[in-house]
């Protein structure tokens, strides 16, 4: 199975989701069965590591995001990934607009799909440290539900 997380710049929310899911898949013994990546709808940060505040918050919970580099979503991703999960409605709308007609991969809003209290992962970029912690809380919970779905698929 192949999972792609998408946010705006691929430096805060989606790399966090990538790192958390990788960690949870490893703990569940599923890491060899699932390919996980992240991307952004924008191109501003292509090639850059995740935001330093994102990395600091993630590392505080045991997730090392330092090896990740931002990339932009491309039409080819729709054929490459089975499940593409957007962090917010704006990202989802952009993905729907660029999705090739022949695409068979699933496209959904990450939190809404996995029963979170919020539908969208808020963008912490312009806020303080508490926003990055909230993002981690939401993503950790949603990834637990995603891992259960993956167990049923692989």
What is the arrangement of strands in the sheet containing 35-40, beginning at the earlier edge strand?
A: 35-40, 2-7, 83-86, 106-109
Q: Distance between CA 88 and CA 110 in Å, rounded?
A: 8
Please return the burial class of 95, using the count of CB atoms within 10 Å of its CB with bins 0-12, 13-18 and 19+: buried
What is the Cα 85 distance to its own chain's centre? 6
Rg (CA), the chain: 14
- The catalytic residue positions are 7, 13, 123
Token pair, residue 139, equals: 């993503």
């Amino acid at each position: 199975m192949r999972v792609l997380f998408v946010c705006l710049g691929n430096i805060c929310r989606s790399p966090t989701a990538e790192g958390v899911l990788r960690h949870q898949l490893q703990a569940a013994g599923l890491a060899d069965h699932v390919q996980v990546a992240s991307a952004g709808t924008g191109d501003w940060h292509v090639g850059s590591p995740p935001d330093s505040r994102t990395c600091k918050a993630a590392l505080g919970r045991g997730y090392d995001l330092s090896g990740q580099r931002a990339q932009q979503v491309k039409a080819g991703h729709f054929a490459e990934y089975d499940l593409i999960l957007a962090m917010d409605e704006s990202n989802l709308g952009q993905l729907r607009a660029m999705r090739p007609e022949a695409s068979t991969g699933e496209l959904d809003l990450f939190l809404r799909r996995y029963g979170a209290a919020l539908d969208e992962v808020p963008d912490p970029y312009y806020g303080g440290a508490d926003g990055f912690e909230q993002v981690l809380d939401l993503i950790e919970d949603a990834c637990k539900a995603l891992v259960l779905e993956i167990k049923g698929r692989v």
